[in-house]
Amino acid sequence: MSDLPADHRQRLRCLQPDQSFCVRAPAGSGKTELLTQRVLVLLASVQKPEEILCITFTRKAAAEMQDRILQALRWAATTDEPESGYRQQSWRLAQAALAQDRQLNWQLLNNPSRLRIQTIDGLCARFTKSLPALSNFGAQPDILQDPFPIYQLAVQRLLEQLESDEAIATALEKLLLHLDNQIEVVERLLISMLAKRDQWLGLVGAGNSIRDARSLLEQALQRLLQEELDELSHQLNPFESDLVMLLDYGAGHLQQEESTSSIPCCIGIRQLPACHASELPLWRGIAELLLTDKGEWRKTVNKRQGFPPGSNKLEKEQAKARKSELMELLGQLQEQSGLLGRLARIRILPTDQYDEKQWALLEALTVLLPHLAAHLLISFSERGAVDYPQITSAALVALGDDDNATDLSLILDYQIHHILVDEFQDTSSPQIELLQKLTRGWEPGDGRTLFIVGDGMQSCYGFRDANVGLFLDARKHGLGDVQLEASDLCVNFRSQRAVVEWVNHTFREAFPEQDDISRGAVSYEDSVAFNAALDGKAVITRIFVGYEDRRAEGEEAAMLVRKALDENPDGSVAILVRNRSHLRQILPALRDEGLRWQATDLDSLASRMWVVDLISLLRALLNPADRIAWLSVLRAPWCGLSNEDLLSVAGGDGKSQSIWGRLRHWQSLKLSEDGRERIISMAAILESSWENKQRKTLRNWIEGTWLALGGAAALRTPAQLGDVQRVFDLLDQHDHGALLLNDDLFLRDLERLYAAPDSDADPRIQVMTIHKSKGLEFDTVILAGLDRSPRAEDKQLLLWQQRLNQDGGQDLLLGPLAATGEEEDPLYHYLSKELALKNQMEGTRLLYVGATRAIKRLYLLGHLNLDPKTERPKPPSSRSLLASIWPSVKEEAEIILPQEQRPTAANNLLKRIQRIPVDFKPVSIVTENLLLTEQSAPAYLESEDNLPTQSWQQNLRHIGTLTHRILQQLVIHNELYGDLLCGEPQHLEDFHPAWSRQLRQLGVPGHQCAEAVIQVHQLISNTLADEKGRWILDPNHRQSACELPISYDNGFQIQHLIIDRTFIDSQGTRWIIDYKTAEAANESDFSLFIEQEEQRYKKQLSSYCRALTAMESNTVKAALYFPESGYFHELSL
């Protein structure tokens, strides 16, 4: 068998030194080797190695490329020519480069820095250094790794102008009014916009009037509608006569009906509508005739679409014939690639003009945003540091433009003859602009070339503003002045044949049918395996169905790691997940299996209990009124009070004194003997600590207190001590006069700290996110948690989309957030749907990246709920990675059902709760600067022998509180709960960890949380499964509100009331609904139970009704809703 790949000719073509290329290089195709060979070819033809510029996106990739080039040169210099094949070609190319090196005395092997291989950020920084005055920097500033505090400062300075500058104050007033005067919301939304200012600043910056901005934005809307309607019209044109005849037939039958359908407006239609915004209602009528409400092809039609069965024989025959014709037409349309999506988009397309309400907000923003950007520049200057977007912006300024070439651009035009760009699919618009300026004036045949390599199927950095459409556009239209020859690689050198074939089969169906430049849709291209298939099954999908938690998945992952290493001791294994949080059950399982793994930036310090305890101590000492922090301090290992003692300290007798105040008077507390001893010791240390507040640095004060309490004695390993020391180092950075000036910033920085890598880890085992794995390969890959959905994104003040139009130009679509309490803006709705689809497509590409890391074996793991009707797993959430490939893998997946119930957390709680001995004495070395400067030797931790019992009845109140919270969130923040209100309640289990934490905070003991979570789950699940429950939670009711506070003068006093749920229904009736999580003792007593509940709450609900009746003229009704039974009981008041 020849060792030349099937795409050998394409690879040779890509080495032509006088031709520019755009190369599509799928996973495992050896693009780094191709880039290396391209550089070797160019080195053999240039006069100086500096004429070649290689651009990558990470330092790691830049170092790898340089290493590959130098290795090739060293290999060729020290070995004989191979006999044949690909290696022979590489050897010959390296020999030619070495010959040029010797002739021109470059001495590259001794001077590797002459190879210009840089990251895009490093290149921009280099340009700004070259022309500091022109780039507006002067001295080179530092680059901020976390610019959030500077963004916050700029926004605060803008908001301060509310009382000064008239134009800005007026614009701010409009913005605040739009957002219900929630200044913290305005601040958050403006901060989020600063991070992406490169996308909007060109539109609203200096030089553009408000009228110009509106004109540009509306032109973009017009092009969007024109292109969408043109494409749809083109696809439907062959079916025009049949379609308009059937549409007219349906519209005629609906004309006399009272219907909200779009079909009746098509009455009398004789041809396809014009491709203009004014004809949108007709296009929507077409979409409604052909598609269901869920956006799927209709399988039948009825009178609601204008196809009634008929009342006599003639009408029935005609109806049957028309229905048959429509079904035949639908069958033909289903074969048209991409038509289904286009019809679905027609339904949500916005109009081509902004209405005055929309523009009022945008007009205010066109005033505010340039000033906000100016404040940011001033803040950067004061700090002497900038963010990466500012570096890129400055580099673009330094390169000038077509009418104003700078010295730097002229120098670079002379110096650089060849540019190579790796991972081009992850470029953003400013980076494209940079490349366009670098290649400005390049012409075919002038000896200068551009070589870009990428793979649209691996584009997964949308959160960094990467736009895969730019890669697709470059393949079609070239880049700037440079025309590019498109070339495709197809051979996979990494994976065995069975893995490649599985990937081809699975992702061919999961990817879009065709490319769409404007929307960033990438179609799938098959790969060809270079390596033979191995024995055994290459890809295994295992789905855990009906499990209460994810421990089984963690244990399965650990078992697979052990199995892989047993079968291949020299092999590598990787566990890959979408997000770090998805490893919560996997890492403990690896520890239990005795496995040590390598990982970086994976295990957050903020989640480690010894750090949590330290932060509780910090918050308690800084705020004596922080009850949660003080209770956490009392429960930490250095004190370890029992629940009964905690209750006594917390003030169960109803007193409002702070916990610190009660500790100082511990003699009056009802404590156990053990608790009294612990409190005495602790109170003395804390009293001493308070005397030193603001007399020491913040770090010394907190660290001294922590040591004196025995914080170090509670640690088990040097790594834990290292974690704590890093927190103390962070305290140093945030110390402002012995105080923590900004709690939120400190906690934000803490969230960015990760545990140090394990120095004794097994290098064969790697654990990381799929994003981190890009470019790597492993013998065995385990993709875990594939059913999990990402956290829903917060609503933005503006949604925008940089859309590539059919001419290759860029249009900006800008949709404003609706005012508080109003319906969602149509353009904002369209952009949010487009963003959701783009994220979904990127999720599919991310899964492709993970799957293609595997060399020999691939395992896919996930959790699903069981459908009792079909006895098959319910489909995964549409936002999960698993959703896109589920149709292809569901038949081959191994379904694992729960066997014997594993021990619950409560069973093992006694063994896990630990504390230092009551007679612990720290080393007493006191200095002037610290409470204690020397930590004690670690003490053995004692196990808590017995937990205080707590009646389950005491927890019912906390369960009710949490249930109320969740029901409220389902209404006002329903986007956070994914598709729950749309019929996918099986994903409630994803929220169990959060519910468990909240129950603990409310006071439910840890060993009882699991059972409490199950009860909460049942209450929420019952509500979602109940039609009346979903009606109550529907956020689309008019004047919808939850936990609504109102004040009402009843003639004797002002009453302050809070209503669980209220809204106005479609009949104009105001409903007041009170949730009740209590339940009847048994079914026979249910009627009596409901009667008692009515009597108990009738007075309360009557006052609610009187209050609202006094405020409005609507009919007011009240009801109790019982989630446990799904029973809705209207009260007669």
Tokens matching residue 863: 């959790």
Q: Is the pLDDT of residue 404 over 70?
A: yes
pLDDT in tens, 471-480: 999 999 999 8
- Please tell me the predicted confidence (pLDDT) of residue 744: 82
What band does 1044 get if pLDDT is binned at 50, 70 and 90? confident
What is the C-alpha to C-alpha distance for residues 402 and 685, in angstroms, rounded to an integer?
71
- pLDDT (mean) for 35-52: 96
What is the C-alpha to C-alpha distance for residues 659 and 672, in angstroms, rounded to an integer?
17
DSSP letter at 104?
Answer: H
What band does 904 get if pLDDT is binned at 50, 70 and 90? very low
Q: In what order do the strands lie in the sheet with 116-119?
A: 116-119, 52-56, 418-421, 449-454, 21-24, 485-488
pLDDT in tens, 239-256: 999 999 999 999 988 887
Strand partners for 735: 740
Tokens matching residue 1039: 């004047």
| pTM for the whole structure | 0.76
Pair 981, 1024: CB distance under 8 Å: yes
What is the C-alpha to C-alpha distance for residues 348 and 330, in angstroms, rounded to an integer?
21
Using only the alpha carbons of the chain, give its radius of gyration.
Answer: 33
Q: Is the pLDDT of residue 918 over 70?
A: no
Number of continuous H segments (helices) and E segments (strands) in the chain? 39, 30
**Least confidently predicted of 231-240, 437-446, 982-991:** 982-991
- Please tell me the predicted confidence (pLDDT) of residue 202: 74
Strand, helix or coil for residue 213: helix
Tell the residue number behind the tokens 């459908």, with chain if given: 867
- Please tell me the predicted confidence (pLDDT) of residue 1: 46
Beta strands of 905-1019 (E only): which ranges?
914-915, 942-943
Q: For residue 845, which of 501, 497, 466, 583 has the smallest C-alpha distance?
A: 466
- Please tell me the predicted confidence (pLDDT) of residue 528: 96
Q: Is the pLDDT of residue 906 over 70?
A: no
pLDDT in tens, 547-586: 988 999 999 999 999 999 999 999 999 999 999 889 988 9
Tokens matching residue 1074: 């009170």
Q: For residue 493, which of 1091, 1050, 1052, 3 has the smallest C-alpha distance?
A: 3
pLDDT in tens, 166-217: 889 999 998 998 888 888 889 988 998 898 888 788 766 655 667 777 888 8
Longest Cα–Cα distance of the chain, Å, equals 105
Please, how many CA atoms are within 13 Å of residue 112, restricted to the half-sphere of its CB?
16
Backbone angles phi, psi at 1039, to 5 degrees: 50, 45
- Please tell me the predicted confidence (pLDDT) of residue 929: 30
Strand, helix or coil for residue 950: coil
pLDDT in tens, 986-1020: 567 777 877 887 787 677 777 788 888 999 998 98
More confident residue, 667 or 10: 10
Tell the residue number behind the tokens 């069958």, with chain if given: 331
Backbone angles phi, psi at 134, to 5 degrees: -65, -35
- Please tell me the predicted confidence (pLDDT) of residue 865: 92
Tokens matching residue 573: 């294994």
What is the C-alpha to C-alpha distance for residues 950 and 907, in angstroms, rounded to an integer?
15
What band does 1081 get if pLDDT is binned at 50, 70 and 90? low
pLDDT in tens, 275-334: 999 999 999 999 999 999 988 999 999 988 999 988 888 888 998 999 999 999 999 999
- Please tell me the predicted confidence (pLDDT) of residue 484: 96
What band does 1025 get if pLDDT is binned at 50, 70 and 90? confident
- pLDDT (mean) for 919-941: 38
What band does 371 get if pLDDT is binned at 50, 70 and 90? very high
Q: Is the pLDDT of residue 907 over 50?
A: no
Pair 1068, 998: CB distance under 8 Å: no
Q: Is the pLDDT of residue 531 over 80?
A: yes
What band does 745 get if pLDDT is binned at 50, 70 and 90? confident
What is the C-alpha to C-alpha distance for residues 406 and 74, in angstroms, rounded to an integer?
39
Pair 703, 930: CB distance under 8 Å: yes
What is the C-alpha to C-alpha distance for residues 480 and 1087, in angstroms, rounded to an integer?
77
DSSP letter at 920?
Answer: -
* Domains of the chain, first to last: 8-128+389-489 (3.40.50.300), 148-195+354-386 (no CATH), 215-346 (no CATH), 539-600+760-792+800-896 (3.40.50.300), 605-753+913-943 (1.10.486.10), 1026-1130 (3.90.320.10)
Tokens matching residue 644: 């009964």
What band does 822 get if pLDDT is binned at 50, 70 and 90? confident
- Please tell me the predicted confidence (pLDDT) of residue 876: 95
Pair 909, 947: CB distance under 8 Å: yes
What band does 957 get if pLDDT is binned at 50, 70 and 90? confident
